[in-house]
A and B are shown apart, each in its own frame.
Chain A
Amino acid sequence: MKKYLSLLIFLLVVGCSSTPSIKEMTIRMGSTDSVEIIDMRSVVRNGLLTAQVTVKNDSSSNLVSYRFKWLGKNDISIFDDEAWKPITISKGQSASIIGIAPSPDAVDFRVELNQYK
C-alpha cells in the first residue's frame, strides 16, 4: 500500500514538472492551421537564449508571419512585441526559424504565428 502511494506521488510530481509541449508554446492567430510545427528546440549560446522552430506547410503555398515572444523569470514579457516577420513556405517545404533573445534576461520563449495577406 505504501509502495503504491509513493509511486503515485512520484508520477504526479513528474507529470506536473514536465516541460511544456510544442502546442503550449505556440500561439496561433488567424488561419494558420495548414502550417505545422514539427520541431522546437532552444539553447543558451553566448549568454543569449536561441530558439529554433521548424515549420512545415501541408497545404498549397501559404503566407505566414511569425514572431517570438521572450519571457523572463515569472513568465513576464521582456521587450515590446517584436515585428511580424513574413515567411513564404511552399507546399511540403519545411523551414527553420531561428530567434535570438534580445537580452540575457530571457529564459523562455513562445512562438506566435499569424497569416498575412
Chain B
Amino acid sequence: MKNSNIKISTYIFSALAILTLAACSGPQVRYGDAKAVETVTVDYGSTDLQSIAEAMARSLLQTKVISGSKDAPTVTVADVKNKTSEYIDTRVITDKIRTQLLKSGQVRFAVNINEMQSQVDELKRQNQSGLYKNSTISKTGNMQGAKYRIEGSISSIVKQTKDVKDVYYVFNLNLINNETGLLEWADEKEIRKTATR
C-alpha cells in the first residue's frame, strides 16, 4: 500500500514538474516576414516605409531626366522634413529610396551633407598624413558635385473619435536641378490607416 502510494505520488510529482517546465519555458520567438503587411497600430509602420520608398523610387526612375539621359545623372539626397506629430526617421526613407535607385543602375549618388564629414576626414587622412603612397592617394579637389537633389516632406492628418482613429499620411518628394533651381520631378504618396474599436 505504502509502495503504491509512493509510486503514485512520484508520477504526480514528475507530471507536475514537466507541466511547470513547459509553462515556464518563456515567450516563443519566431522570425517573421520583413515584407509582410503590419497592422499592429495605426501609427507609422514598416509597411508604410516600404510602400513609400518603393513608390517614390519607381516613379523617380521614370522621369525624363533619368530615363532619357545617356549617362546616369548624379543626385544627392537633401532633407525630408517630418511635419507629422509622430517620430518618423525620414533618413531611413531616403536611404531606402537611394538603395533602390542605386541598384537599378540608372542613377549615381554624390555624398550628401550628413556624410560629408566622413568623406572629408578620409580625404584629409589620405592626403595630409604623409602615410600613403602618392600614386595610390585619392586626391582632394576631385569630388563630383551632384546635378540634382532630392528633398521632400511627410505630413499627416489625424482624426479621432471614441471608436475610430483615422490617420492620413502624405509623402511629397521633389527632384530639383541644383544649377537652375528648376523642379524636374515631383510625386506624392498617400496612405490612410484606420483603427476601429
Contact = CB atoms under 8 A, between A and B. Distances in A.
Interface of A: 45-48, 50, 65, 67, 79, 81-86, 99-104, 116-117
27 contacts: A46-B63, A46-B64, A46-B67, A47-B67, A48-B58, A48-B61, A48-B62, A50-B62, A65-B37, A67-B35, A79-B103, A81-B35, A83-B50, A83-B51, A83-B54, A84-B36, A85-B47, A85-B51, A86-B37, A86-B47, A100-B58, A100-B59, A100-B62, A102-B58, A102-B103, A116-B37, A116-B39
Contacts of A103: 103-106
Contacts of B106: 103-104
Contacts of A86: 37, 47
B170 to A, nearest CB: 17
B67 A48 contact: yes
Contacts of B32: none
Interface in B31-58: 35-37, 39, 47, 50-51, 54, 57-58
B68 interface: yes
Given A83-B54, A84-B37, A102 B59 contact: no
A65 B50 CA distance: 13
B191 to A, nearest CB: 10
Nearest to B194: A88
A83 B36 CA distance: 7
Interface of B: 35-37, 39, 47, 50-51, 54, 57-59, 61-64, 67-68, 100, 103-106
Nearest to B67: A46
B103 A84 contact: no
A110 B105 CA distance: 22
Nearest to B100: A102
Contact of A83 (B35, B62, B63, B104): B35
A99 B105 CA distance: 19
Nearest to A50: B62
Contact of B35 (A45, A50, A84, A100): A84
Contacts of A46: 61-64, 67-68
Contacts of A81: 35
- The interface centre, meaning the residue of A47, A102, A116 with most chain B CB atoms within 10 A of its CB, is A102
A47 to B, nearest CB: 5
A72 B39 CA distance: 33
Given A46-B62, A83-B35, 7 more contacts: A47-B67, A79-B103, A84-B35, A85-B37, A102-B57, A102-B58, A102-B61
Nearest to A106: B104
A99 B106 CA distance: 18
Contacts of B103: 79, 102-103
- The interface centre, meaning the residue of A47, A48, A83, A103 with most chain B CB atoms within 10 A of its CB, is A83
A78 B39 CA distance: 28
Nearest to B193: A86
B87 to A, nearest CB: 21
A117 B62 contact: no
